[in-house]
């Protein structure tokens, strides 16, 4: 897999995804299913290894019933 350069914003998103997911008691598989994404893709996003599109950030926000800006808030 091609590695992407380190990104502080991706780190913030990854941390917030794990936090919101843990608050709900959801597995990565459950969140991926709710958002219509692949679990391995979500896992890479949560490790800050994968770039993510705005559309996919929106899907995750809708699935967790939070705003997209909350996912990106430091």
pLDDT tens by residue, 4-55: 677 999 999 999 999 999 999 999 999 999 999 999 999 999 999 999 999 9
User: Where do the domains of the chain lie, and which CATH numbers do they carry?
Assistant: 8-69 (1.10.260.40)
5: left (phi over 0), alpha (psi -120 to 50) or beta: beta
Among residues 48, 74, 39, 49, the alpha carbon closest in space to that of 63 is found at 39
The predicted structure's pLDDT at residue 3? 64
pTM over 0.85: yes
């Amino acid at each position: 897999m091609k590695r992407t350069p380190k990104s502080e914003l991706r780190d913030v998103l990854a941390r917030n995804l794990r936090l919101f997911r843990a608050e709900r008691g959801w597995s990565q598989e459950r969140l991926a299913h709710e958002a219509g994404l692949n679990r391995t893709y979500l896992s890479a996003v949560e490790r800050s290894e994968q770039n993510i599109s705005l559309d996919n950030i929106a899907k995750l926000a809708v699935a967790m019933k939070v705003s997209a800006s909350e996912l990106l808030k430091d």
